[in-house]
Amino acid sequence: MLEIYNTMTREKELFKSRGNNRINFFVCGPTVYEDAHIGHGRTYVAFDLIKRYLEYKGYAVFLIENITDVDDKIIQKSKEKEIDFKSISNYYEKRFKEDMDLLNVNSVNAYPKTTDYINEMLDQIQRLIDKGYAYETSEGIYFEVSKFSDFGKLSNQDLNKQKSRLQNENLETHSFDSNKKNIKDFALWKKTEEEPNFDSKWGKGRPAWHIEDTAITEEFFGQQYDIHGGGLDLIFPHHEAEVAQMEALSNKKPMVKYWMHTGFLNVNGVKMSKSLNNFITIRDLLEKWDPMVFRLFVLSTHYRTRIDFSEKSLDQAEKNLKRLKNTIQKLIDFKKDLDIEDKLENNELLDKLYEVKNNFFKDMDDDINTSKALADILNFTKVINGFISEHESNPNKNSLKFINETLAFYEDVESIFKLNLFYQDLKEDKGDYDDLLKILLETRDKLRQEKNYELSDYIRDKINDLGISIEDK
Ligand code: AMP
């Protein structure tokens, strides 16, 4: 039975979806004004894995990650580069998705963009005003925090304690509006004549950060859904504000059943972040390392635990990845070469396999502990390698059942971990493309012989688009 740690209750809870089989899952996506760094990589790999495990358990999971494509940082960059903000955000969104693809983070069902949901945000803001939770000043529309008595429940803070962060802290990071009723009230809409801006009944302006997510999730899932995820840094104020907005509208129906938060990826003990300028982009890392080495490096730590980044840990991840791939390959080759019948069923080995499987799924069910689950399968490679070398000296001690069941287990592991375990290395992947290219070129030659130049030119142009030039001799 799967148990998941819920930030809201601060406990591990038995997982049960709201609907029968469907899980609606939202994860805060990136603000696209620069290339993603490996801290982002950590968080998105973790949620991709969580989704895959839920699917393995038989759920139909719909995962959304929003793309913040209008924001002060994007606008700042567009001014510096003298390019419109859309070109900046489109460019970095495309690169973000390319990075995610390389890391096998391709389980996300939708990437809705902020600018496509402005009307939904305006509608939510109006409803908050109508219900008495929001008010207008000369600078914007604000959520009145003191009206929502549950404010602080996610980050476990008491609104009424004088020393609480909530009492004293201005939750706005960018500006301070002296007309706010209270320092802790946060913006829903910021009025501005500066481009880019959007029309609203309160004049031109831009949406504030927290309203994006609730507008998008209400549109996709309604007022209540199963899981909301993000990095630890987002619990307060971002997720706290989301709870306030949505539950104010729904008369306090719990917006989310399970809140899941990833730990930071740190460098020298400090969170990797763009603002601290201590970041390594995913692209830079992948110049040197195979993407699956990074993926395994991330999954070697439980998703809630901090990861300290170092080249040494990547080295270790690379060794472990090779060990897993080599063992699987050996097992496949061994099976191919097996010319004698399965004479003796090796029950001892089968028992060991069942024990490992049992431990693996127990660890995964324990708040998705990939760290322990990976250790289980890495340790098991010793048993498999021992079995193969023993067989070399004693061919009668054979167990086809063990081989088949072990390979089937690794296939299950691969469907969850997505580490390309059944490929020897990425270069061999490219070998497949070379073969495909050969087939395409041969087809094109045939078309030219038949004087079907329209189709043959079409193929040439499409191949050229991939950066491969073709010369006709
Ligand atoms: P941001 O671009 O800062 O809005 O972050 C997008 C997502 O990546 C959020 O869920 C963050 O919590 C997460 N994130 C950012 N930096 C890190 C980090 N160093 N380690 C883990 N997650 C991070």
CATH number at residue 343: 1.20.120
**Average pLDDT over every residue of 310-324:** 96
Q: Is 39 in the pocket of ligand 1 (CB under 6 A)?
A: yes
Section 337-345 average pLDDT: 62
Check if the beta carbon of residue 264 is closer than 8 Å to that of residue 294: no
Are residues 359 and 257 located together in one domain of the fold?
no
322 and 218, same structural domain?
no
Query: How do 256-262 and 60-65 pair as beta strands?
Result: unpaired
Instruction: Please report the pLDDT score of residue 175 as a whole number.
Output: 58
| One domain for residues 454 and 387 | no
Cα separation, 137 vs 131, whole angstroms: 17
pLDDT band at 431 (very low <50, low <70, confident <90, very high): very low
pLDDT-derived band of residue 399, with 50, 70 and 90 as boundaries? confident
Whether 42 lines ligand 1, by a CB cut-off of 6 Å, is yes
pTM of the model: 0.88
Could you tell me if the CB of 265 is within 6 A of ligand 1? Answer: yes
pLDDT classification of 163: cutoffs 50, 70, 90: low
CA distance 352 to 347: 9
241, 373: one domain: no
Residue 305 counted as domain residue:
no
**Whether residue 337 has pLDDT greater than 90:** no
pLDDT at position 67, please? 98
Instruction: Give the CATH number, domain containing residue 89.
Output: 3.40.50.620
Question: How high is the pLDDT of residue 397?
Answer: 59
Does residue 287 lie within any of the structural domains?
no
For 178-184, what is the mean pLDDT? 90
**Taking 50 as the threshold, does the pLDDT of residue 428 lie above it?**
no
Residue 267 lies in a domain: no
Residue 433 pLDDT class (50, 70, 90 cuts): low
Task: Give the number of domains in the chain.
Answer: 3
The boundaries of the domain holding residue 436 are 426-465
Most informative mutation of 28, 35, 40 for ligand 1 (most atoms within 8 A of CB) = 40
List, for residues 255-281, the tens digit of each pLDDT value: 999 999 999 999 988 999 988 899 999
Task: Identify whether 289 is part of a domain.
Answer: no
Three-class DSSP category at 127: helix
Question: Is the C-beta atom of 150 inside 6 A of ligand 1?
Answer: no
Alpha-carbon distances, residue 285 vs 35, 291, 310, 404, 452 (angstroms): 12, 8, 11, 36, 45
Q: What percent of the chain has pLDDT over 90?
A: 75
Residues 333 and 361 placed together within one structural domain of the fold: yes
User: 334 and 206 in one domain?
Assistant: no
Nearest CA to ligand 1 atom 4: 30
Q: What integer best gives the mean pLDDT of the chain?
A: 91
Neighbour count for residue 363 (Cβ, 10 Å): 19
In the listed set 262, 279, 298, which residue is the last one of a domain according to the structure?
262
Instruction: Tell me 264's DSSP state.
Output: P
pLDDT of residue 389: 84
Position 297 in a domain: no
Q: Are residues 352 and 443 in the same domain?
A: no
For tokens 């080599």, the residue is: 326
